[in-house]
Amino acid sequence: MRELSDIDVVGVVGAGTMGNGIAQVAATAGYEVVMRDIEREYVERGLGSIDDSLDRLASKGALDEDPGAIRDRIAGTTDLDDLATADLVVEAAVEEMDVKRDVFADLDDVTDDDVVLATNTSTLSITTIASATDRASDVIGLHFMNPVPVMDGVEVVVGERTADPVVEFAHAFAADLGKETWEADDKPGFVTNRILMPWINEGVRAFDEGVADKADIDRGMKLGTNVPMGPLELADHIGLDVVLDASETLHAELGDRYKPAYLVKRKVEAGDLGKKTGRGFYEYGE
Ligand code: 3HC
């Protein structure tokens, strides 16, 4: 396994919300980054989000460097072979086990043998993902929170075969990105989503069952418990498709108390996925 001091190039698989956020914070911390997605269009969109986010941070003096200099450290690609130079890879592809296992099998071939392979999965088993490789001891969960550039925390998820030095390395790498960490065992949903998803689904059910207007559910939880977003706002922020996927995984693994709310399913079927499509529980203008 490479030491943190040997890490120059960070590979990121996936240029979506989480992938481009991870690429951004890694580049901001001084790493060279190779961010890969399957279509050029996705790569370009990810790079555009990074530009916007860096500009926002720069405008309030939150960066030590010119945003252009940070951005120059990020290369976008559609070719997985370009990750051959990576000293560490963080995967943030879609939340489908088959896709992740294929990606990890490919990463196992493409990268040097001593490269740690991390996954940003929100609910899937690290151990099952790791078993697609011949280096399960070097596979770990690094679960970033959305929006990655703003959120302070990263969940380190330890698979059945993850080696202790890899766990220490993951905490140290996250700290180097300016994040605080906590550690979870490889159990469905880990700490955050195991607790967050039923909270969101219960908020949606409370709305659907007429307990209160949606704005009052969100206001009640914000004013009553000092969270920055209520459950319906947060569902829109995360994306209702992500909430549904995570809830379905938890439901399959942990039983009925994790059943996704009917209204989340219905909105996903309608294509109303939250902020990213302009409509979820609320409407969002340009
Ligand atoms: N890049 C750069 N800056 C950003 C940003 C981004 N992508 N998103 C927000 N910001 C900045 C804004 O510029 C603003 O900066 P300022 O206060 O200095 O002006 C600051 O963050 C606050 O943003 P806004 O004023 O637009 O809005 P809010 O005050 O409502 O904050 C929020 C937005 C930070 C998202 C806050 O509402 C929040 O913390 N919400 C909860 C988010 C949360 O719980 N995330 C975890 C979800 S679970 C998860 O990710 C796990 C996954 O597996 C599902």
- Regarding the beta carbon of 17 and ligand 1, being less than 6 Å apart is answered no
CA of 204 to the centre of ligand 1 (A): 21
Whole-number Å distance between alpha carbons of 3 and 11: 16
- Please say if 122 is a catalytic residue: yes
What integer pLDDT is reported at residue 45 of this predicted model? 98
Residues 6+ apart with CB under 8 A from 167: 140, 156, 158, 183
DSSP 11: E
> Per residue in 176-231, pLDDT tens?
999 999 999 999 999 999 999 999 999 999 999 999 999 999 999 999 999 999 99
What integer pLDDT is reported at residue 75 of this predicted model? 98
Catalytic residue among 49, 122, 125, 201: 122
Catalytic residue among 32, 49, 143, 233: 143
CA of 57 to the centre of ligand 1 (A): 12
Residues that constitute the known binding site for NAD(+): 14-19, 37, 95, 100, 122, 146, 276
What integer pLDDT is reported at residue 56 of this predicted model? 97
- Regarding the beta carbon of 193 and ligand 1, being less than 6 Å apart is answered yes
CA-based diameter of the chain, in Å? 56
Whole-number Å distance between alpha carbons of 2 and 283: 46
- Please say if 143 is a catalytic residue: yes
Question: At 285, is the pLDDT very low, low, confident or very high (cuts 50, 70, 90)?
Answer: confident
What are residue 144's DSSP bridge partners? 154
- Regarding the beta carbon of 226 and ligand 1, being less than 6 Å apart is answered no
> Per residue in 265-282, pLDDT tens?
999 999 999 999 999 999
> DSSP letter string over 190-257?
TTHHHHHHHHHHHHHHHHHTTSS-HHHHHHHHHHHH--SS-HHHHHHHH-HHHHHHHHHHHHHHH-GG
Sign (positive/negative) of CA torsion 283, 14, 189, 179? negative
- Regarding the beta carbon of 212 and ligand 1, being less than 6 Å apart is answered no
Whole-number Å distance between alpha carbons of 168 and 16: 27
> Per residue in 28-42, pLDDT tens?
999 999 999 999 999
Residues 6+ apart with CB under 8 A from 54: 24, 28, 63, 67, 70, 71
Whole-number Å distance between alpha carbons of 235 and 275: 9
What integer pLDDT is reported at residue 280 of this predicted model? 98
> Per residue in 101-150, pLDDT tens?
999 999 999 999 999 999 999 999 999 999 999 999 999 999 999 999 99
In the numeric block, the tokens 């989340």 are attached to 264
Residues 6+ apart with CB under 8 A from 150: none
- Please say if 237 is a catalytic residue: no
ipTM, 2 decimals?
0.94
Residues 6+ apart with CB under 8 A from 97: 124, 125, 128, 129
> Per residue in 92-106, pLDDT tens?
999 999 999 999 999
What integer pLDDT is reported at residue 1 of this predicted model? 86
- Regarding the beta carbon of 145 and ligand 1, being less than 6 Å apart is answered yes
